[in-house]
Amino acid sequence: MKKDIEAILNESKISRRDAMKVFGLGGAGLMMASSTEVEAVVSSNKAKGKIVIVGGGLTGVSTAALLMKSIVNADVTIIEPNPKSVSYQPGQTLVASGVWQPEDISYNTADFMPDGVKWIHEKAIEFNPSANMLKTSGGQTIKYDYLIVAAGLVLDFGAIRGLEAIGDVYSLDANDATRAKKILGKNGLCSVYFSEGAKDTWGQMQEFVAAAKSGKKVKALFPEPHTPFKCGGVQKKMVNLTNARLVEAGARANAEMAFVTNSKKLFGVPVYAEAIKGQMKDRNVSTTFEHKLVAIDVANKIATFEKHWEEKGILGPLLVESEIVEKIEVVKMPYDFCHLIPPQKAPKEIAMSPLGSEKGWVPVNKETLQHIKFPNVFALGDIVAVPLGKTGGSARKQYKVLVENLVAYMERKEELPSKYDGYTVCPLITNIGEVMLAEFKWDPKDDEKAVVAPSFPQDPTKPTWFYWFLKAYLLKPMTMYGMLSGRA
């Protein structure tokens, strides 16, 4: 460890009380001890019935673990085809920057499956929620009393022209990775969004840094997609990590760095957006807005964007008001290194089933996480249609809300007692050894907007070594041994 804990606390002006709060959470994982955030769970003996969970990733397994504690003789089945489904995705940026090794984040699901939970090693492919039934890829018909949808999201590389052969990719699926690696992880093009891709991103980043160090003038491109995507801070982390490696090599002056987003802003919460703007300026990274990535010419290393904006059009027939028209202009950007965040979507077997919505994401009451059409169905994690979210940090709040509400529903209580408030956290790596802990939740006055929700009393926009310590040393054990066992 680079610094002792005392020095980190002094430097970060974190009180011992707050530090103990963090160590309590991390410690839950580190020591598998009893000190956790989850309130003392009272086991219900009134809640009866078969619960099926589709998806055994972070939220599916955490929810199953907490259900086993919350219901006497709970009957819980998880449907999950991937034997490595609980591998630690937030660590992929650290693998992609050479801080961690791939084996630091790879875990076997079997080691985390809670005792007593039945595991069907297949995929759910057909849903009939009116009949409380689903079918699996192995041809089984499964009946349930209660369904939990925790199937995460799919990386839609195929939506980018030039990458159609990659198609849909799950972040942790080995077969998908083999297909993606035929195109990504070479020629300067890479993506941290799947685990094998994280390893290859480090290889590509090293080649890029070496080219800059050799005196060549090089260009790095960091586009953000036009769809919602998990962990909204990833591209900023990749900008900062690449910058750090260039600086370390004494090669920063030879590299041009460009961050390009489809959005109109750098971040949804104004104070964090302002802080990120300052970070980009300090690092001499250009920022371009309202550019949708539509194609990659892999062989010639050119990314094509549609620059889009609105303009007053030709006057209408009554010559009263002009119409607003969307304008598009094609913009091509060459690169030597391009880190891609692919467009993302809900898995199609769910998106297109009665459980999905027009845009695919599973529609739930955003506070109770109960499905808006089928009351015995609940959903959480990356697949749900709620504003913000799509991080492990939001999932950590959601799974407790879901379990409390599902148990109440099973006990035939009139009201669902627990409410998710939109809490999301993004440990935004600003440098190797420094993190800005962007925590936020829905604005209670306007839930389309977000407000800061810091857990610590200091300025949340200030990057510190303490938050790096949290990210690099505490959050993984907290997730792997605290959350996945329903204790943090």
Q: Report the residue number, 56 or 185, with the smaller CB distance to ligand FAD.
A: 56
Residue nearest to ligand FAD (CB): 57
Query: What residues contact residue 3 under an 8 Å CB cut-off, 6+ apart?
Result: 11, 465
- 3-state secondary structure string, 134-170? EEECCCCEEECCEEEECCCCEEEHHHCECCCCCCEEC
State yes or no: residue 63 binds ligand FAD (CB under 6 A). no
**Cα–Cα distance between 311 and 238 in angstroms, integer?**
33
Q: How does strand 75-79 pair with strand 50-54?
A: parallel
Q: Report the residue number, 198 or 212, with the smaller CB distance to ligand FAD.
A: 198
Q: Report the residue number, 252 or 349, with the smaller CB distance to ligand FAD.
A: 349
Angle at 68 between CA 62 and CA 74, to 5 degrees: 135
Q: From its phi and psi, is residue 284 left (phi > 0), alpha (psi between -120 and 50) or beta?
A: left
State yes or no: residue 272 binds ligand FAD (CB under 6 A). no
Q: Report the residue number, 344 or 461, with the smaller CB distance to ligand FAD.
A: 344
Q: Out of 70, 97, 132, 171, which residue is the one contacting ligand FAD (CB under 6 A)?
A: 171
Q: Report the residue number, 205 or 218, with the smaller CB distance to ligand FAD.
A: 205
**Cα–Cα distance between 86 and 113 in angstroms, integer?**
10
State yes or no: residue 89 binds ligand FAD (CB under 6 A). yes
Element (H, E) at 45: none
Q: Out of 27, 29, 57, 228, which residue is the one contacting ligand FAD (CB under 6 A)?
A: 57
Applying CB under 6 A, the site for ligand FAD has a residue count of 40
393-422: which residues touch ligand FAD (CB under 6 A)?
393, 395
Q: How far is the CB of 395 from ligand FAD (least distance, A)?
A: 5
Q: From its phi and psi, is residue 88 left (phi > 0), alpha (psi between -120 and 50) or beta?
A: beta
What is the greatest pairwise CA distance in the chain? Answer: 73
Angle at 404 between CA 69 and CA 119, to 5 degrees: 50
Q: Out of 70, 82, 240, 262, which residue is the one contacting ligand FAD (CB under 6 A)?
A: 82
State yes or no: residue 58 binds ligand FAD (CB under 6 A). yes
Q: Report the residue number, 96 or 255, with the smaller CB distance to ligand FAD.
A: 96
State yes or no: residue 390 binds ligand FAD (CB under 6 A). yes
State yes or no: residue 234 binds ligand FAD (CB under 6 A). yes
110-129: which residues touch ligand FAD (CB under 6 A)?
123-124
Query: What residues contact residue 82 under an 8 Å CB cut-off, 6+ apart?
Result: 56, 57, 109, 170, 172, 173
Q: Report the residue number, 44 or 137, with the smaller CB distance to ligand FAD.
A: 137
Which residues lie near ligand FAD (CB under 6 A)?
54-60, 79-82, 85, 89-90, 92-93, 123-124, 150-152, 170-171, 192-193, 230-231, 234, 347, 349, 381-383, 390-393, 395, 425, 427
